[in-house]
Structure 1
Amino acid sequence: MSMNPRIEAVTQRIRERSVATRAAYLALVDGARTRGPNRSHLSCGNLAHVSAACGAADKAALMGSARPNIGIVTAYNDMLSAHEPFETYPALIRETARSVGATAQVAGGVPAMCDGVTQGRVGMELSLFSRDVIAQATGIALSHDAFDAALCLGVCDKIVPGLLIGALAFGHLPVVFAPAGPMPSGLPNKEKAAVRERYAAGQATREELLAAESASYHAPGTCTFYGTANSNQILLEAMGLQLPGTSFVNPGTPLRDAFTRAATMRAAAITALGDDYRPIGRLVDERALVNAIVALLATGGSTNHTIHFVAVARAAGLLVTWEDFDELAACVPLLARIYPNGDADVNRFHAAGGTAFVFRELLDAGLLHDVETIVPGGLRAYARDARLNAGGIGYVDAAPASADDAILRPASAPFEATGGLRLLQGNLGRALVKVSAVKPQHRRVEAPAVVVDDPGRLRELHKQGGLPRDFVAVVRYQGPRANGMPEMHSLMPLLGMLQNQGRQVALVTDGRLSGASGKVPSAIHVTPEADLGGGIALVRDGDIVLVDCEGGVLEARVDAATWSARRPAPNGSPAGLDIGRALFALSRANVGPADEGALSISCGPPRPPTPVGERRTETEYDLGRVAAYAPFEAKDA
């Protein structure tokens, strides 16, 4: 099947607008490749530090041979269910590495916070910036120049994008991602959501709510809804950075351990020391990024990736825009219904055919590029199902039909003809809306604005009976510069309950929305944000606001003269308790806009200096400055 012309056109535009920045990035990647093991260029004192804590066999291998050394970057902690299984991975990885003539060391750890814990709490204001901290921590882990490949252990929301950005700064290294898998299914997500809405209406007790939540989140592994964490896994497979079929295998199973062993073997096999060198900086090109976006749209994945993957692209010297997401959405069919876009969780999606089915359908329809990946066979290798056998993992062709067409459908008979995302524009700014979970009758809301600067104020107004029957909740001063861009998921039970009552409601915010949120139309990531004087700071209580998900309109119905005479309203909810906010003051001061990835760090190659007397425009992209990663020659050996 030839490539869909629209997919090809978007890919070509990304390629053309990124010519200079991509060339600069690849020059860094190619310049950092060395002859022999990377550690062989270390001084004797450097190398002694690297191997000091190793056992005799590993120390001998590190000191004297051309065996590859794998750096493990782990997001392990035992407070988060998704990352708790990683506790045992390093021992298994080291054992497997030795079996194939390699060594492996934990190079470093990265923080892993959970939006599920910080929802509605002050800690959520640090959440988005944790991605950039993770990228920097990954860079620190890999900075020792002692590794020939890396294994990244991470699953959840900001962790995988942060690991990707950090790994791309060391783009000459092959990098393999190894996930932990989802927990077994618990209380169905639809039942959990119903208890949440009853609690918001005062019809369920806190004890009932806690029992429902605990029955849903109940074991090691990723949460089973299709939020940002599980979207990460499908996107990594679509880019060819995880082993085929590895995303949704439960922790603690023989197949899960077999995948971890196989990931280790693959990392050892694709270093510059062999004849199958596959550096991550070469694999992550414009085609791989388009594949990730297509897979996100086809499965109704998390809106958070409209920020994260703009940032990931820039780390690889590529310029991706929200217009690219919007245009791809217009030609990518929706193939999956996974909660919050349906009733099924990711375990049922996996049983219905999972990623192998999705990739086979998208490839056959000409909607995915068949790119080089970490395994032989290109992306076609990802259109096969994994099976455990005596030799490890084997693969068979994906099932010809979905095992449950209420969850998974072929490209010839999708749930919807277009993907679940739209770009909205108007005098309120630019925003994105996820339409795949919004029923058609709720996709256009025109109603008076209820403007708040603190999401908690909306709940107070509801308790006081102060909300109109139909309204658009405008929650502003939640952007990355003002407030770290927290998620507004804590509002969804209230807004969902009001929608269930037959009321027309919508959300407009310069904050984010959880990947677990769905049925309420929500224009999110509004940019320019209120703190920069964007249109969202001009809207007033009672203004009629139109949120048209299918027409692509986000507009306050205010005459132009009145609108232009207005000045931004001040932030009516200044920061209260610190709880770590001060540590991230520089991040808030330096963060870029949402549609440029909300980056608070420099990433990508250095750009040419601006000529004297010239000024960069506000929209001109600054790729930042990253020193060329060149090895040190031995000084005192």
Structure 2
Amino acid sequence: MPLDPAIDAVTARIIERSAETRSLYLDRMRKAVSDGPTRAHLSCGNQAHAYAGAGQDQSGLATTRAPNIGIITAYNDMLSAHQPFEGFPAQIKQAARTRGGTAQVAGGVPAMCDGVTQGQPGMELSLFSRDVIALAAGVGLSHNCFDSAMYLGVCDKIVPGLIIAAATFGHIPAVFVPAGPMTSGLPNDEKSKVRQKFATGEIGREELMKAEMASYHGPGTCTFYGTANTNQMLMEFMGLHLPGASFVNPNTPLRDALTVAATERALEITALGNDFRPAGEVLDEKAFVNGMVGLMATGGSTNLVLHLPAMARAAGVLLEPADFADISAAVPLMARVYPNGLADVNHFHAAGGLGYMIGELLDAGLLHDDTVTIAGDGLSRYRQEPRLEGSRVVWTDGAGKSLNDKILRPASDPFGKTGGLAELTGNLGTGIMKVSA
């Protein structure tokens, strides 16, 4: 299918607008790549410091040219979305070791939750945390010991901060590894009724908290389609997740197998192999356009209008509000997920999820297929969905249709003819409205 003229026009003007900054960025990345794997330039003393705590991996790090993965983790155990990451580094290290490579935790980054801090003074730190995360990740990667990086993060400011770091260190590959959403709990409409009863004094605080905890009840991302889950969608549309990885629940065999598969891919796409895919080449103008298309088609978070330009700028790509508005006008709204409907992301995933949506948008000419992704050349790979075959992941064709048209609809018969956002301009300034809500 030929590319839609509106998507083509927006892409062309982003490329033109970004010509100088993108060229300077790519020159910088190519210079870093041409220097070869950075570990080779460390002195013997530098390397000894870097490998002293590596245990059984010491010898491999010191004496072989096998790839070494740097892990940047947003783990903490007071936020449900990041708690599952506790065991990921050990799992990644073992998977790398089994396949002749190594992995080290390069550093940790803070992860805060707006759901905890809203209405509290801590919320004033929320946006600033994005740039702290980018800096913290950069500090970890600045040791220059790594042939690729795996980023463990989910929520609102964490993924944007990690993307800024991945772009800054764009001469090495970046694989983003999700933790997945918690299983579905008390539906939002039922929780709302309990809150109303509490507000009118019909029930007490104990019953209120029982309902709240039945809604947010276990490890994983909150199941509504807010900024955290919009981030996960973006990573898939932009080719930084493995296909179908975004919305697989934590602590399941498939989730574990996907983490192992992500490790394998991080080893395969380094400059030491034959399939080098540095992050700077993945994060190009077309990838950001694909991300904006996904944002509109899913009715995603308005916060990404704030974050995507910052993420893109780190890769030399310049986005403007009009780009979002024009893409929104060309892209149909294909999903109804809370707060735009009653379904949660688990229901969306079960209905066909991102694989179905990407396939539909590709067939409608609304996505760039000719992008570099960590999974392979072209976004078509992301039509597929992961399945377990024994303990390993295989990718198969999805159902090819929506399994619940109250949640997910084809591009030819959408919930709305235009996407999730609209730009507002007037004598007070410029703003964004979430029309999908």
Alpha-carbon distance in structure 2 between the residues aligned to 1:73 and 1:255? 22
SS for the counterpart of 1:271 is coil
After TM superposition, give the deviation of residue 64 of structure 1 in Å. 1.2
Show the 5 A alignment for 1:59-138: 59-138=58-137
The 8 Å contact of residues 131 and 162 in structure 1, kept in 2 or not, is answered as yes
After TM superposition, give the deviation of residue 386 of structure 1 in Å. 1.1
Show the 5 A alignment for 1:421-500: 421-437=421-437
After TM superposition, give the deviation of residue 190 of structure 1 in Å. 2.0
SS for the counterpart of 2:396 is strand
**Aligned: 1:139 with 2:138:** yes
**Aligned: 1:399 with 2:399:** yes
The 8 Å contact of residues 7 and 328 in structure 1, kept in 2 or not, is answered as yes
The 8 Å contact of residues 37 and 68 in structure 1, kept in 2 or not, is answered as no
Show the 5 A alignment for 1:412-427: 412-427=412-427
SS for the counterpart of 1:330 is helix
**Aligned: 1:166 with 2:165:** yes
SS for the counterpart of 1:33 is helix
Per-residue CA deviation, residues 222-276 of structure 1 (Å, 9 max, x unaligned), is 1100000000011000000000000011111000000000000000000011111
- Identity fraction in percent: 62
RMSD over aligned CA atoms reads 1.2
Alpha-carbon distance in structure 1 between the residues aligned to 2:240 and 2:200? 44
After TM superposition, give the deviation of residue 202 of structure 1 in Å. 5.5
Alpha-carbon distance in structure 2 between the residues aligned to 1:34 and 1:109? 28
After TM superposition, give the deviation of residue 180 of structure 1 in Å. 0.5
SS for the counterpart of 1:297 is helix
SS for the counterpart of 2:243 is coil
Is the alpha carbon distance of 1:25 and 1:208 closer, same or farther for their aligned partners in structure 2, counting shifts above 3 Å?
A: same
Alpha-carbon distance in structure 2 between the residues aligned to 1:154 and 1:138? 11
> What is the aligned partner in structure 1 of residue 252 from structure 2?
253
Is the alpha carbon distance of 1:332 and 1:198 closer, same or farther for their aligned partners in structure 2, counting shifts above 3 Å?
A: farther
> What is the aligned partner in structure 2 of residue 293 from structure 1?
292
Structure with larger Rg = 1
> What is the aligned partner in structure 1 of residue 350 from structure 2?
351
Per-residue CA deviation, residues 326-352 of structure 1 (Å, 9 max, x unaligned), is 010001000000000000000011100
Show the 5 A alignment for 1:328-343: 328-343=327-342
After TM superposition, give the deviation of residue 390 of structure 1 in Å. 2.6
Is the alpha carbon distance of 1:298 and 1:198 closer, same or farther for their aligned partners in structure 2, counting shifts above 3 Å?
A: farther
1:183 partner amino acid: M
After TM superposition, give the deviation of residue 433 of structure 1 in Å. 0.6
Is the alpha carbon distance of 1:17 and 1:197 closer, same or farther for their aligned partners in structure 2, counting shifts above 3 Å?
A: farther
Structure 2, unaligned runs of 5 or more:
none
Is the alpha carbon distance of 1:19 and 1:377 closer, same or farther for their aligned partners in structure 2, counting shifts above 3 Å?
A: closer
Alpha-carbon distance in structure 2 between the residues aligned to 1:338 and 1:204? 29
> What is the aligned partner in structure 1 of residue 3 from structure 2?
3
The 8 Å contact of residues 387 and 395 in structure 1, kept in 2 or not, is answered as yes
After TM superposition, give the deviation of residue 196 of structure 1 in Å. 3.4
1:294 partner amino acid: V
Alpha-carbon distance in structure 2 between the residues aligned to 1:44 and 1:309? 40
SS for the counterpart of 2:335 is coil
> What is the aligned partner in structure 2 of residue 603 from structure 1?
none
Tell me which stretches of 4 or more aligned residues in structure 1 moved more than 6 Å: none
1:436 partner amino acid: S
After TM superposition, give the deviation of residue 377 of structure 1 in Å. 4.3
SS for the counterpart of 2:164 is helix
> What is the aligned partner in structure 2 of residue 24 from structure 1?
24
Alpha-carbon distance in structure 2 between the residues aligned to 1:189 and 1:7? 35
The 8 Å contact of residues 71 and 150 in structure 1, kept in 2 or not, is answered as yes
> What is the aligned partner in structure 2 of residue 270 from structure 1?
269
Structure 1, unaligned runs of 5 or more:
438-637
> What is the aligned partner in structure 2 of residue 360 from structure 1?
359
> What is the aligned partner in structure 2 of residue 156 from structure 1?
155
Alpha-carbon distance in structure 2 between the residues aligned to 1:118 and 1:146? 36
After TM superposition, give the deviation of residue 391 of structure 1 in Å. 6.2
SS for the counterpart of 1:361 is helix
SS for the counterpart of 2:431 is strand
After TM superposition, give the deviation of residue 24 of structure 1 in Å. 0.5
After TM superposition, give the deviation of residue 18 of structure 1 in Å. 0.5
> What is the aligned partner in structure 1 of residue 325 from structure 2?
326
Is the alpha carbon distance of 1:238 and 1:267 closer, same or farther for their aligned partners in structure 2, counting shifts above 3 Å?
A: same
SS for the counterpart of 1:7 is helix
Alpha-carbon distance in structure 2 between the residues aligned to 1:395 and 1:298? 24
The 8 Å contact of residues 299 and 340 in structure 2, kept in 1 or not, is answered as yes
> What is the aligned partner in structure 2 of residue 581 from structure 1?
none
The 8 Å contact of residues 253 and 391 in structure 2, kept in 1 or not, is answered as no
Residues matched between the structures, number: 436
Alpha-carbon distance in structure 1 between the residues aligned to 2:38 and 2:383? 34
Is the alpha carbon distance of 1:334 and 1:3 closer, same or farther for their aligned partners in structure 2, counting shifts above 3 Å?
A: same
Deviates most, 27-36 or 269-278: 27-36
After TM superposition, give the deviation of residue 140 of structure 1 in Å. 0.3
After TM superposition, give the deviation of residue 38 of structure 1 in Å. 2.1
Is the alpha carbon distance of 1:67 and 1:121 closer, same or farther for their aligned partners in structure 2, counting shifts above 3 Å?
A: same
After TM superposition, give the deviation of residue 34 of structure 1 in Å. 4.5
SS for the counterpart of 2:330 is coil
Per-residue CA deviation, residues 80-124 of structure 1 (Å, 9 max, x unaligned), is 001001010011100000111110000000000010000110100
SS for the counterpart of 1:431 is strand
